[in-house]
Chains A and B, each alone.
Chain A
Amino acid sequence: MSIGTDIPRVDGIEKLRGTARYVDDLKIEGILHAGTVRSKIARGRIRKINFDPAINWSEYTIVDHRDIVGPNEIKLIELDQPALVVDEIRHKEEPILLIAHPCPRAIQPALRAITIDIDPRPAVTDPQQKLTPDLVQFGSDNVFKKIDIHKGDPESILQSATRVIKGEYRTGGQEHVYLENQGMIAYHEDDKLVVTGTMQCPYYVLDALTHFFDRPPDAFRVVQTPTGGGFGGKEDFPSNMAIHAALLAEKSGKPVKLIYDRQEDMAATTKRHPGIVRHRTAVDDNGKLLAMDIEVIFDGGAYMTLSPVVLSRGVIHAAGPYNCDNIHVHGEARLTNTPPNGAFRGFGAPQTIFAVERHMDVIADQLGIDPVALRRRNLIKDGDSTATNQPINDGVDRIALMDNTLDVANYHDKIKQHAEFNREHPYTRRGIGFATFLHGAGFTGAGEVWLASEAWVEGHPDGGIEVLVANTDMGQGTTTILTQIAADQLELEPRYVILATPDTSRVPNSGPTVASRTAMIVGRLIEQACDKIVDQTGGQKGAALTEAIQAWHLANPGSRLIGKAKYQKPDVIVWDDEKYIGHAYACYGWATYVADVEIDLRTFNVRVLDFVASQEIGRVLNPTLARGQIQGGVVQGIGWALTEEIVTRDGAMANNQMTNYIIPTSGDLPPIRVIFEESDSPFGPRGAKGIGELPMDGPAPAILNAISHALETQLNDIPMTPEKLMLHMEEQTIGAH
């Protein structure tokens, strides 16, 4: 059996050898290279577009909104985002024109030779900005989505409680910094328009093309190329890329390649939603949470894109892994005139978990009790329920998980050691902090029912097995773990199983590769599809199955032997999307993360010295890949907490280079010690739950709790750059006088 063991990555060798062909590596005869003319201001109305006569424009294919035959809409949740501006500009970097030319070097000079006269209009740059009528651009109040969760009667308890503790917590945007930039190729093949490139969700791209060109789905073929990282950044944005490349290919009749360089990619594509979260919490003297009132505001950017679902995950996770009988969460995703914010690993949960985990330490501080004791008192126990009244009965001991993790991190000793160290050292301060949290696996609520995912497993004449799903490997190891799942279910060596290239002309719609759903939801479908193959060939597994498949093909020449499985909602999952009550997720991963930090008071630089990431995730499918997911998520969390600051001008990123957008290097990182606890979760293959997003949630609150502990203050804002930390300490010193 290969599950639970480290089989080598099935896509590893070709990536190590450099033979994997990423989209920009593809050579196609006669291809045109494309570029995008963008708005240089946040909001306005186009008056005139000027083409410098020094350029021979007849050499170029030029596309504007008038070339669009179908609806000028990028289909996602709402149809508010145009593929190309007609006249109203809603954000800086918004695409206005597309150009293409056989020579890649002809693109930059041409882009500079097109100037656009725009009458500027007042822009919304802050989601809390007071609105005047000329700023309203969506509905009556620029709010894309409002969500409320109600449990019990928090308001009356807050009114009468003796102790109400308040806090406001802010989180910044974040750039994905996938290694491979966005890129897409479009060309005609037979009667189809083929669109191929770097993406997470081929069927989202297909859906967007179908709507935009108003043609049937079989007019297109969408093929994923090997993808160098996604982190959510290639969930929705590749639809924009695909439409742009396709528009140029349609107009020119030639293949077109559209590749963003790093600066364009950072400036123009999606970011994590900046968040503001306010807590009002009634507690008793022992720290029991009596009532929680939580307000969540996300900056959605100029168009709706995925903001309603990001907000949904945010509000559902906002009360953390705690049992409280009286909860109100109110969430709003609001419009601002910035490039749309989109999917990013964690999808709203890191923002609200940062808030609740900082708030728990604030509560502990104000009550004068140990943050460990506070969490021990409130962590969900089996039989308790979440904010949406979802009963939790999964047999996981969340208190033991926390206690064991703190022991591994030597938490209690370090509290004492650091106190002593901090008394002695002239300018270095040390602190330790932690966060306890949860992350829901799979699509929210009824989302999986709506997706109705399908997975196929095909037995080929040579006896080999091919898994046909639309889920993509972007470096996280999907192909490897799905191979392991099919191999184990069929009792075969993994080498008998191959994963099909995600190509919408060949694979069924098994849903997007997002939301920590692939291993759990699609993995389970693959198990079921494998069972269908076994049923169709006489019930044998292992070597006998290989022979049975060969025999089946001899008996049925020319036919395909395919086992198909379609998502069926487990009966226990009950969700009311109107009231936000019930099973928000099939199950949750549970975790405790501990950060040990050091602050240099000369420079206010923070260094994480040690990090322990412990989680209960059902079943570990491949230990190396699972550990890699956790460590990678922790690194991304460290960056988000400390250095990854999006500096904006006119609402768009101004530090759009890797030189100035500071992701951590290996030299900035502590040892990241990963601990897995396992259980038999009933929803995924062999008990597996999702893990992709979980590690993004814990690092920021653990680190800020640690810095707050070290400096005996409360820091409620990330990224906590040295500049911000310095100002905070100065204000605190002044306040103390």
Chain B
Amino acid sequence: MKVFQPKNLNDALDLLAANPDIRPIAGGTDLMVDWHHHDKTDWALMDLSPVDDLRQMSIDDDALHLGALTTYWDVIASRDITNAFPLLTRAAKQVGAIQIQTRGTWAGNIANASPAADGVPVLMAYDAVVHLKSKTESVDVPLDRYFTGYKQSVRTPDQLIVGITIPRKPRTHEWFYKVGARSAQAITKVGVAMVHDDTGWHVVVNSVAPCVCRCNAIETALNANRTFNTPNDIASILKNDIAPIDDIRSTAHYRRTVLARLIHARLKQQEQV
């Protein structure tokens, strides 16, 4: 196993350009899982922790900026960010347990591209933009166009996620719900974030499709002010948006049914307010 320690961002981008197989790591929380599950021992890793340029986290009137090394805990601990983007903290507190929250990063969660990523639905529902940088160019990709399939993304091997920006704007509805098999140390079986702003509804789901994704059909129906009498009404539209599977953690049927029931109960609750 090789471990590279870049001194600064340029150094890191040079290393990536020269070694396409290199794997950047931030908190290392996904790596530690893979380590155990895979047979591979000839890894090439790049430890980003010395790159202070990636550590910045800032919030102003227009946007929140999370550097690539921003951890879940950094957000939980920030009252300003929690007030402005409550779903970020709500999701962060449900990632693994405190040990994971203090090491795991938002950018790493995106880079790992797991369909069960806990941090991604709320970022996507908030219109997050991913900043990719390589030795030769910088590219901004809206998070809802970042993933291309199971563990696949638009990121090329020479590109590094350097940060994430989330616009501040009035949002009239913000909700996130994670269904795990227990209250901590749980991988999401079904997750959903729902945000409403001046552009309409953002309904983002995880663990029900090859990647975290927006539910366009449901968003369209909601934007058209369609009402749903039963969870089944929602399920019949959702089937265009999601493709859940059976695995050792749950069943496709459960994921599909519970997602519809969660959205239905939430909308009902809103009607009563």
Contact = CB atoms under 8 A, between A and B. Distances in A.
A657 to B, nearest CB: 8
A667 B184 contact: yes
Given A604-B258, A726-B254, 15 more contacts: A108-B39, A427-B265, A602-B258, A602-B262, A643-B182, A655-B249, A659-B185, A660-B249, A662-B186, A665-B184, A667-B184, A668-B182, A722-B181, A723-B251, A726-B257
Interface of B: 33, 36, 39, 41, 97, 179, 181-187, 190, 248-251, 253-254, 257-258, 261-262, 265, 268-269
Given A109-B41, A723-B250, A601 B261 contact: yes
B183 A426 contact: no
19 contacts: A112-B39, A263-B36, A426-B268, A427-B261, A602-B258, A647-B248, A655-B249, A657-B36, A659-B185, A662-B182, A664-B182, A665-B97, A665-B182, A667-B182, A667-B183, A667-B184, A668-B183, A668-B184, A723-B250
A385 B187 CA distance: 50
| Nearest 6 A/B pairs, CB to CB | A667-B183, A662-B181, A655-B248, A723-B254, A602-B261, A647-B248
B73 to A, nearest CB: 17
A603 interface: yes
Interface string A650-663: 00001101111010
Given A112-B39, A726-B254, A643 B183 contact: no
A605 interface: yes
A109 B261 CA distance: 47
A604 B250 CA distance: 13
Interface string A302-334: 000000000000000000000000000000000
A722 B184 contact: no
Interface string A692-731: 0000000000000000000000000000011100110000
Contacts of A726: 253-254, 257-258
Contact of A603 (B36, B179, B186): B179
A625 B248 CA distance: 36
Main SS at interface, chain A: loop
Given A602-B258, A664-B182, A726-B258, A659 B187 contact: yes
A426 B269 contact: yes
B137 to A, nearest CB: 38
Given A655-B248, A660-B248, A665-B182, A426 B265 contact: yes
Contacts of A662: 181-182, 186
A605 B36 CA distance: 30
Interface in A616-675: 643, 647, 654-655, 657-660, 662, 664-665, 667-668
Contacts of B179: 603, 605, 722
A605 B181 CA distance: 8
Nearest to A649: B248
A134 B253 CA distance: 36
A665 B97 CA distance: 10
A723 B261 CA distance: 14
A134 to B, nearest CB: 30
A667 B182 CA distance: 8
Contacts of B181: 643, 662, 721-722
B164 to A, nearest CB: 26
Interface string A165-190: 00000000000000000000000000
B272 to A, nearest CB: 9
A233 B249 CA distance: 24
B179 to A, nearest CB: 5
Contacts of A721: 181
Contacts of A723: 250-251, 253-254
A723 B250 CA distance: 7
Contacts of A108: 39, 41
Given A426-B268, A723-B250, A603 B183 contact: no
Contacts of B97: 665
A109 B187 CA distance: 29
**Most chain A beta-carbon neighbours within 10 Å: one of B181, B249, B261, B262:** B181
B196 to A, nearest CB: 20
Contacts of B250: 723
A602 B265 contact: yes
Nearest to A261: B36
A599 B248 CA distance: 23
A668 to B, nearest CB: 5
Nearest to B178: A603
A721 B180 CA distance: 12
B37 to A, nearest CB: 8
B248 to A, nearest CB: 5
A318 to B, nearest CB: 31
A276 B135 CA distance: 64
A667 B185 CA distance: 10
Nearest to A666: B184
Nearest to A427: B265
Contacts of A665: 97, 182-185
B180 to A, nearest CB: 9
A722 B268 CA distance: 22
B108 to A, nearest CB: 18
A660 B189 CA distance: 11
B175 to A, nearest CB: 13
Contacts of B268: 426
Contacts of B185: 658-659, 665
B229 to A, nearest CB: 14
A438 B184 CA distance: 34
Nearest to A604: B258
A452 to B, nearest CB: 45
A605 B182 CA distance: 9
Nearest to A730: B257
Contacts of B261: 427, 601-603
B69 to A, nearest CB: 25
A604 B259 CA distance: 12
A273 B27 CA distance: 41
A128 B264 CA distance: 41
Contacts of A602: 258, 261-262, 265
B119 to A, nearest CB: 17
Nearest to B97: A665
Contacts of B257: 726
Contacts of B265: 426-427, 602
**Most chain B beta-carbon neighbours within 10 Å: one of A426, A647, A659, A722:** A659
